[in-house]
Structures are given as structure tokens and as C-alpha cells.
Amino acid sequence: MRRLPFRRLAAVTAASTFLLMLVGAYTKAIGAGLACPDWPTCYGTWVPFLHPAVMAETPYSTLQVAAEWVHRTLAAGTGLLIAATAVAAWRRESLDRPEWAALGAGALLPVQVVLGGLTVTESLAPLIVTAHLGTAILIFAGVVAAAVGRRVPSQAAS
């Protein structure tokens, strides 16, 4: 299988991150931040919809559980893309602004995953939710810069 070129991979990652951020905002807007009350599983299972007893007992609507679950699941896929983009950047022949931007996004990924888990385990503590949003913005900026940022032309010897 042919490998996706770095810039194209970064563009796919940016699109996925954008979608993930929208789902996160939607999750918050419908009050579903704790619709999966545990982490990393949701009601002790990876797919709560497969367990009718779980869905019957949750105080949240199916839409709320789905929003939080989709956010987490999409985060897993997007996280892999962010990591792959950082690895692709590291493997390039030289590191310039777009590559460093991708590496920065990759470095922030574990921080964001921990913050995501803490939003749940700390019951949506305002500082943690704010840090989660701030880190999301930085990651998004990084992968966008990786996709479209200009490389600095090397100085011609005078």
C-alpha cells in the first residue's frame, strides 16, 4: 500500500480534528459531558449500545450517550492520525516549520488524552474543561500549519 504524502496526511488529520472538535462542542452543548460517567470505558463497557440494561438504566438520553461515545471513539481514530502525522514529519528529509508544527501537535496528544479523561473523572471541573479546549485549539493549529504552512526557503550563499 502506498504511504500518504506528509502534507495530505496532515490535511486529513486537520479535517478529522475539526470534526472531533465540533462533536466535543456538541457534547458539551447538550449536557452530555458525563453521559459516559467512567473512563476509558463507558458504563464499564466499550460499546454501551450493545447492552440494553445499561441503556435502560442511564439517566441520560441515547443521543447524549451517543455524543460522548462518538467523541471518544473519534478521538481514538484522530489520535492515531495525529501520531501518524508526527511520525511522518520526523521521517522527512529535513525539519522545517510544517514538520515542527506536526511534532508539536503530536507532543500535545498525550496531554489532551489525559485532560479528556480528567474532564470525566473530575466531573467537568471548569479549569480542566478549559484546558481541554485550549489544547484542542493548539493541536488543530499544529496540524493545519503542517498541512498548509510554508517552508522557509534556505538561505542562498552570498
Tell me which residues touch ligand HEM (CB under 6 A): 17, 20-21, 24-25, 27-28, 33, 39, 68, 71-72, 75, 78-79, 112-113, 116-117, 119-120, 124, 129, 132-133, 136, 139
Q: How far apart are CA 21 and CA 30, in angstroms?
A: 14
Closest distance between ligand HEM and the C-beta of residue 58, in Å?
A: 15
Distance between CA 27 and CA 125 in Å, rounded? 15
Q: Nearer Cβ to ligand HEM, position 64 or 158?
A: 64
Residue 137 or 151 with smaller CB distance to ligand HEM: 137
Return all residues near 91 (Cβ < 8 A) that are at least 6 apart: none
- Looking at the Cβ atoms of 6 and 71, the one nearer to ligand HEM is 71
* Positive/negative CA dihedral, 34, 39, 44, 45: positive
